[in-house]
Amino acid sequence: MVAAATLAGCGSLNIGSSGDSDVLSGVGRIPGYDFGTAITLPEGFEIDLPEVAGGLIGPKVSGNRLLMIGDSIMASTSSRYGNEMCDALVPLGWQVAIEAEASRFAEFGVRVLDQRLNAEAGWDAAVVFLGTNYEGNKDSYAKQMRKIVSKLAPRPVLLVTSSLFRNTQREVNAAINVVAGESENVSVLDWETISKEKSVLNKDGVHLSPKGRSVFAVAVARALDIAPLRQGACLESKFRDDSAVAKDVMPEPVDTVDDPTASSTP
């Protein structure tokens, strides 16, 4: 059985990992399991994806429900915009809920978990990308990230580092790696390195370009690997407030219908 998570165009994807991997012309192939899955980059991109520190997520879980938490960068790949994330992850068997809003700091992750973990059972893994909005206090940031990891434990967690659009983001990434090193269930996706590739970020040097959103989704898909169950789905989001976003950094929304379950907090 073969499944393909195809994104626009056909770039070249070389994978760095501690396990075996195959690289096909024009596509990258996720290793392992009983069937092959191809993920492709947008046309014109040739990226050597760095090794996922702590290991891929798929082999560590027995279920496929995935909670993703982030700021405007992750939100821009959600179903209310271009849906790049679900397009990449659902064919891999993941049931994906993207809880991401513009201009959110690390504390947002704790708030999401207080609602979604307490109200629901059955989350098997999580992806957290909260470091773009950083107040400059490394200890405070690390404290919030530890709270997030602790609330999610023992579930496998993928933490995503920040692009280096300013020098203080080095503190963010240092804290992420320290927190990850404290927990066996935490892996790290090195977005710092991937985001240095030309044309991944838009003109502000922070947010994703149109093709960069597909690159980000591919990078996350590679770090997650194939889910152990095959029934993928794009789940409802409850946090959808992007009113704090700066002008011209997000794609045009495709979903303008008010969601009664959406977050109403600023």
Residue-wise pLDDT for 94-129, tens only, equals 999 999 999 999 999 999 999 999 766 689 999 999
The per-residue pLDDT of the chain, averaged, comes to: 84
pLDDT over 90 (residue 89): yes
In the predicted model, what is the mean pLDDT of residues 73-102?
96
Q: For the chain, what are the domain ranges?
A: 49-234
- Domain 49-234 fold: Rossmann fold (3.40.50)
* pLDDT > 90 fraction of the chain, expressed in percent and rounded: 69
Residue-wise pLDDT for 172-228, tens only, equals 999 999 999 999 999 999 999 999 999 999 998 999 999 999 999 999 999 999 999
Whole-structure pTM value: 0.84
Q: Are strands 157-160 and 186-189 parallel, antiparallel or unpaired?
A: parallel
Phi, psi (rounded to 5 degrees) for 209: -75, 170
174 or 37, which is more confident: 174
In the predicted model, what is the mean pLDDT of residues 148-177?
97
What is residue 230's predicted lDDT score, i.e. its pLDDT? 86
